[in-house]
Amino acid sequence: MIRHHPSDTTLMAHAAGHLPALHARVLAVHLAACPHCRDELRMMEEIGGALLATMPPAPLRADALERSLARLDDAMPIAAPRAAATTLESLATGRWWWLGPGIRLMPLVRRDASDTRLDLIRVAPGMALPGHGHNGPEIACILQGGYADETGHYNTFDIAEGDPSLQHTPVALPGPECICLIATTGRLRAHTWLARLVQPLVGV
C-alpha cells in the first residue's frame, strides 16, 4: 500500500509545468501506480486551465517561439530511458556500478541544465547508504523493496522528497533489494569516508 505521496507543492508545480523535467520523470512512476494522486493532479490542471481561461489575452512577444523552443531544449532528457518509462525494466537501460558493499548505482542522466541528475540506486536488504545531506531538492520513488530512514518507512511506489534540511541514512528493509529512482538537484553532502570516496567517482 502506498503511504507516502508527493507534497501538494510538488503536484501543483507539476500541474503548472514548473517541475524540473527529471523530477517529473520520478513523479511519473508514482502517478502510474497512484490513482489518488492522478485525480489530484487532474483537478489542479482543471483549476489552472479555468484560471487561464479567465485571464485577458495578452499579445505574444516577438521572440515567444524562440524562447519556448529554448526552454524545451533545456527540459529535454539528455539520454535514455524514454520519458514515459515507469517500470524498472523500462528504466534500467544502463549499467550497474559498484558503489560500496551491497550498493549499486545506474546513472541514467548525468546532469541536465537545471543541475539535476537521474539515477537508479540498488541497496541489498539491511545495508545502509552512507549518511548524507542535500544541497538542493531531491525526489525518489521506490520501484522495488523498501527502506527506512530518520523520516519514516518507505515501500514500493512511495515518494520521498528531500531538501537541504534533510540529513539521512537510509537502510534497506528486509526482503527484495531496494531499488529507487532518484532525481537529485545540486550535489550531495557526504558525511562518511565511504561517501567522500565514491562521490568523485560517480559525480553525485
Q: Give residues in contact with Zn ion (CB under 5 A).
A: 5, 34, 36-37
- Report the nearest approach of Zn ion to the CB of residue 36 (Å): 5
Nearer to Zn ion, 8 or 115 (CB): 8
Q: Secondary structure of the chain in the HEC alphabet?
A: CCCCCCCHHHHHHHHCCCCCHHHHHHHHHHHHHCHHHHHHHHHHHHHHHHHHHHCCCCCCCCCHHHHHHHHHHHHCCCCCCCCCCCCHHHHCCCCCEEEECCEEEEEEECCCCCCEEEEEEEECCCCECCCEEECCCEEEEEEECCEEECCEEECCCCEEEECCCCEECCEECCCCCEEEEEEEECCEEECCHHHHHHHHHHCC
Q: CB-wise, 6 or 130, nearer to Zn ion? A: 6
Identify which of residues 144 and 199 has a Cβ nearer to Zn ion in the complex. Answer: 144
Peptide bond into 130 cis (omega under 30): no
Measured from the CB atom, is 3 or 71 closer to Zn ion?
Answer: 3
Least separation in angstroms between residue 34's CB and Zn ion is 3
Which residue lies nearer to Zn ion by CB, 3 or 67?
3
Task: Find the shortest distance in angstroms from Cβ 64 to Zn ion.
Answer: 35
Q: How far is the CB of 188 from Zn ion (least distance, A)?
A: 26
Least separation in angstroms between residue 38's CB and Zn ion is 8
